[in-house]
A and B are shown apart, each in its own frame.
Chain A
Amino acid sequence: MPFSVTTSRAAFILLGKELRLEFRTRELLTATIVFALVIVVLFSFAFDPTPAESRRYGPGLLWIAFLFAGSLMLHPSFAREQSNDTLDGLRMAPVSPFSILLGKMLANFIFLSLAEVVLVPVFAVLYNVSLSGIVGRLIVVLILGTLGIVITGTVFSAVSAHARMRELLLPLLLLPILAPLLIACVESTGSLFAEQPALDRTWLAFLAGFDIVFLTASWLLCDYLLEE
Chain B
Amino acid sequence: MSGTINEIQDEIIEEFAILEGDAEMTNFYIIELGQKLPPLAEKHKVEENTIKGCQSKVWLITAPEGERMTFEADSNSAITKGLVSLLVRIFDHQKASDIVDADLYFIDKIGMNRFIGTQRSNGFAAMIKQIKLLALVYRDSKEIVKTNATDK
Tell whether A and B belong to one assembly: no
